[in-house]
Amino acid sequence: MQTMHAEVVHARRALEALRNGVPNADAVRVLGCAQPHVLDRFDQQLDILATATKQGTTATTEGIIVTGDFGTGKSHLLEHLEQHALDRGFVVSRIVISKETPLYDPAKVFAAAVRDARFPGGRGSVIHELALRVDYRTPSGSEFMAWALDQPGLIAATVHLHERSNDNELHARILDFWSGEKIGVAEVRAGLKQVGSRGAFDVKTIKIRDLALLRFEFAARLARAVGCNGWVLLIDEVELLGRYSLQQRAKSYAELARWLGRVEQQAIPGITTVATISEDFDLKVLREKDDFVLVPERIRAKGGDDNIVLAARAEIGMRLIERDRLTLILPTAETLRTTYDRLREVYERAYGPCADLEVSLQTATTPMRRYIRGWITEWDIRRLYPGERPEIETESITVDYDEDTALQQEPEGFEGTDDGGRE
């Protein structure tokens, strides 16, 4: 009886997610993944990191950028990749680009990555749980400690204190710092004095930007120290960058190139990335807005070495979107029928027998979401209003790429004038 009840709950949970167009783990288990070309590439990325972990070395990988129109299954794909990576022993973060999480700000991207991270068998705050599990006496724990002691003094000192201090309040502050919060330099120095390590580390503030990138590597190495194979970033709705100012678009393209591991000596060991972006971004932004020409031209015109570097990295990011993307496969008659059969089985498990509907491929460009929501809607109406035969109308949703000033507020301290600690 309990098993039957659980099956009904899982079936209804999957259907509710599909009704809302926001797939969850239940929905993904029901429908599977019809994008083998993406899954194969993703497995290659995971294999590289898992092999390095097994061998006690570190590795970097080239990430994937996936394109598809609204409703073609980008979110469904990311949910599937998340479950797949968890099954293979990776920490996974789903990051949705938004006003609160702009792609050009690595500090806020890190905050989102930590906030929404999951790892095999874990509950609650990921950094806190990883820190509780690390054992500095093991080979992997010793390896993590050796790396940390070779980092800037603030990082090295907090790891040293985490190992040696018995001050629970200080431990909590350190874990908050590792999760993206600030910590007082004076507080760290006082802690070092308590454990007899006064003057052992050059503890001083670190620029926000530098610290954000270092924190990603720190998190990945901490995860490896407790037996995980690495950290996966799944970055959704990258197309929002098309609404940024030109300067912020340049920074975002450069960051995308970094996350995808295509900037020399800037790829982060132990981390691999999959990013999704709308299919029409290439045409609407790179070409019609003329970002290919305007972005590097205007950034270089500002002068200075930093802007020359930024322009070059932005060009790499734009070329990745243009040339190195994997496009989602649209449904064929065969995949449509298979999906329908699976979905009908789930609906009947949730609510009982339902009508057999006509299944036919409407057009070669019709997204799967339209079929799925249409079938569920019709079954719902027939179940709730017997005898009714609904006529369902659909509308296509287009992405707005007009610049939005509400998205163009630079984060405080973005240029890295402070952070890492406070006196």
What is the pLDDT at residue 397?
A: 64
SS3 36: helix
What is the pLDDT at residue 146?
A: 96
Find the length of the chain: 423
pLDDT tens digit sequence for 171-185: 999 999 999 999 999
What is the pLDDT at residue 32?
A: 85
pLDDT tens digit sequence for 50-63: 999 999 899 999 99
Q: Tell me, rounded to whole angstroms, the distance of Cα 387 from its chain centroid.
A: 45
pTM of the model: 0.89
DSSP 38-66: HHHHHHHHHHHHHHHHHHT-------EEE
pLDDT tens digit sequence for 74-94: 988 999 999 999 999 999 999
Q: Classify each residue of 46-82 as buried b or exposed e, where b means 16 or more C-beta atoms within 10 Å of its C-beta.
A: bebbbebbeeeebbbbbbbbbbbbbbbbbbbbbbbbb
In this prediction, residue 101 has a pLDDT band, given cuts at 50, 70 and 90, of: very high
Q: Whose CA is closest to 18, among 76, 66, 80?
A: 76
Using alpha carbons, list the distances in angstroms from residue 221 to 226, 299, 338.
9, 35, 41
- What tokens were used for 265? 């000596």
pLDDT tens digit sequence for 349-371: 999 999 899 888 887 778 888 88
What is the pLDDT at residue 34?
A: 86
Give the residue range(s) of CATH 3.40.50 domains in the chain. 35-120+228-328
User: What dotted CATH number matches 35-120+228-328?
Assistant: 3.40.50
Torsion (CA) 129, 133, 139, 140 in degrees, nearest 10: -10
Rounded mean pLDDT, 296-324: 96
Q: Is the pLDDT of residue 411 over 50?
A: no
